[in-house]
Amino acid sequence: MKEIVLITGAGGMIARKLSEKINEEYTVRFLTRKKKHDHDFEWDIKNGTIDEAALENVSHIIHLAGANISEKRWTKERKQELISSRVDSAALLLETVRKKNIKLKSFISASGINYYGTVTTDKIYTEEDPPGNDFLSEVVILWERAADDFKEQNLTERVVKIRTAVVLSKEDGALKKMLPTIQAGIGSALGSGKQYMPWIHIDDICSIYETALKNSDIDGAYNAVSPQHTTNENLTKKIAEVLKKPLFMPNVPGFVLKLIFGELADALLEGSRASSEKIQKAGFKFTHPDLKEALENLLRS
């Protein structure tokens, strides 16, 4: 009999791709705001309601739910939404798991590479480094703490926290947003362009989740980031190169981004490197570690 995996954040690109990878070996269920398929179960995080049938005989939860960090300006209300969509959703799951007296084999939670802070530095961060002290760090700290509660309350055998870099996919996310201007021949780097931009191919992030699901020795926090580091400027140039488009426009000044995006601009204008050594030592092998090859795979396929 297949083990049951419950995935939150059903509408996201990682959830869709991941389910395709694991659905032969596992029975996959989704928690979603509106049921569309037989394997969907509804929940309402704001009102604290959930279809408890989603948790029947479940062995693993992969918690991917969370409002998009870069979708809207960070108003006071938006900041609260960014936190609650991650933390309150985990708390609702925890309460339901405890109520139904379930002991999970694993609780695997999305997390963010912004754990280390939004700052440009030559340092390469590892999972042993302390968190930063800005808003995105706060979001990730609370996010991970909500995941750790499952283990602290003896509701799961292990908790895995996947500190995810910018996911490159032509279907959604940062790459999709960058493509129109570059394809039109008016693409340009942001700010100085020298800020590092930790990245990972969509196939590799899904494979990391699959590895975390199947390997019971994987426990704790792991950076999900390509071993090849790049800057915002280099990423922009590589996309233009793969698309065979010119890149001659000046960089978008930082003050312009701050006028448009407010505090959110800091996440675009700052960035550091992070190490992928820990996940590789756990036996994971990247399929797309090279940026140019990764872009060719995504944009020419």
Environment class of 134 (CB within 10 Å of its CB; exposed 0-12, middle 13-18, buried 19+): middle
How many helices (H) and strands (E) the chain has is answered by 10, 12
185-208 in b/e burial notation, b at 16+ Cβ within 10 A?
Answer: eebbbbbebebbbbbbbbbbbbbb
Percent of residues, the chain, with pLDDT higher than 90 = 75
More confident residue, 81 or 252: 81
pLDDT at 256: 83
pLDDT class for 301, splitting at 50, 70, 90?
Answer: low
Q: What is the mean pLDDT of the chain?
A: 93
Q: What is the pLDDT of residues 139-164, one digit of tens each?
A: 999 999 999 999 999 999 999 999 99
Residue 257 pLDDT = 76
What are 240-291's pLDDT values in tens digits? 999 999 888 888 878 787 877 888 778 787 889 999 999 999 999 999 999 9
What's the pLDDT score for residue 262? 84
Tokens (6 digits) for 143: 């996010």
| 64-71: average pLDDT | 91
Structure tokens at 266: 């800091």
pLDDT digits (tens, 9 = 90+) for 110-149: 999 999 998 878 899 999 999 999 999 999 999 999 999 9
What is d(CA 2, CA 71) in angstroms, rounded to the nearest whole number?
A: 37
The structural architecture, per CATH, of the domain 3-166+201-224 is 3-Layer(aba) Sandwich (3.40)
Domain boundaries of the chain, sorted by first residue: 3-166+201-224
What is the per-residue pLDDT for 102?
96
Report d(CA 25, CA 3) in Å as an integer.
8
